[in-house]
Amino acid sequence: MPEEKFTLLRRFQYSSEAIIYKGKLESQGIEVFLRDITIVDSNPLYSNAVGGIKLFVKTEDVSKASEILNEVSLFSVDDDNNLIKCPKCGAEQVELEISIDGIKSLIKVLIFGAFAIFSTKYKYTCQNCKHEFN
């Protein structure tokens, strides 16, 4: 039986990112292996020390996997899966940002945790011109 070879495709700071991309590739029939996910999950501060979580695919699947991952947008999309455009400059490099509204809200989050989700504010920020909008 010939030895299978694997190639490092991407590195991720957090396991949540790696798992999302792993799921995307597996849904397209590509076998994926994650390395160092347990180390990073046990202590996220170790991520930089070990070089992050590594996503490997079979060497023969590298080009197909790269194509699939390049289709995944790093920016926010609307309900129809179209990139959100900045109302000021028209750029499509818009990210959703979540912030805590004031000191009272911060205290609620610290005391009540996830139940204080209503204290958070959501806004979009254009990465091109830094314009913020709802």
User: pLDDT of the chain along its 134 residues, tens only?
Assistant: 678 899 999 998 889 889 999 999 999 999 999 999 999 999 988 888 999 999 999 999 999 999 998 887 677 788 888 888 999 999 988 988 766 556 666 566 566 655 444 555 678 899 899 999 98
Delimit the domains of the chain by residue range.
Answer: 6-71, 74-134
Fold exhibited by the domain 6-71: Alpha-Beta Plaits (3.30.70)
User: What is the predicted pLDDT for the residue at 35?
Assistant: 96
> 98 — phi, psi (to 5°)?
-115, 130
State pTM to two decimals: 0.60
Which position has the token pair 């996997």? 65
The total number of residues shown for the chain amounts to 134
